[in-house]
Amino acid sequence: MATTTISDDKPIYPAVKWAQRKDRIYVTLDVEDIDSMAEVKLNNSTLYFHGKAGHENKIYEVQLEFYGAVDPKHSKELRTGREMFFDIHKKESGFWPRLLKVSGKVHYVKVDFNRWRDEDDSEEDMQDDRSLEDMMRQMSSGTTDLPDMDDLKAPDSDDSDDEDLPDLEETADTKE
């Protein structure tokens, strides 16, 4: 019986998560500590990624041929320590039946239920999109503009941490 071995230099697929809106798709590649030399190409129909990642410097590679056309000029990319996130604008507005042109199950592509919205979701549900866009803008500009926690207190509120504590009394155990 012959055994097969996997070469260490053979690329492996990263886990891919996706979600969509009427005008865009969100694609997340779950790869930690992506090498700064990673190759990323986005064109009208495909997203290509090739690079080393993780503490073991494994080589990851994936090419996603999208169900429909996208607009790379208006799309954004964000790299964090744990993933690579893409906000990709569709050329034509509307919901796709799947992410990829090929039909059938692709084992490394999963739905990102945290970001998923259906066509019939209410406008309130779409508010999360604006928050995500604001976060992307802030992260790409390098500013976070997080509020000062002291500013969040009500003006006349008493904060128990600000009270003076009484002096400790000595007990028989502490006297020496």
d(CA 42, CA 49): 9
Q: Tens digits of per-residue pLDDT, 36-88?
A: 889 999 999 999 999 998 888 899 999 999 999 999 999 999 998 889 999 99
Helical H segments across 122-168, by residue range: 123-141
**Domains, the chain, ordered by start:** 15-118 (2.60.40.790)
| Cβ pair 41, 48 in contact under 8 A | yes
pTM, 2 dp: 0.65
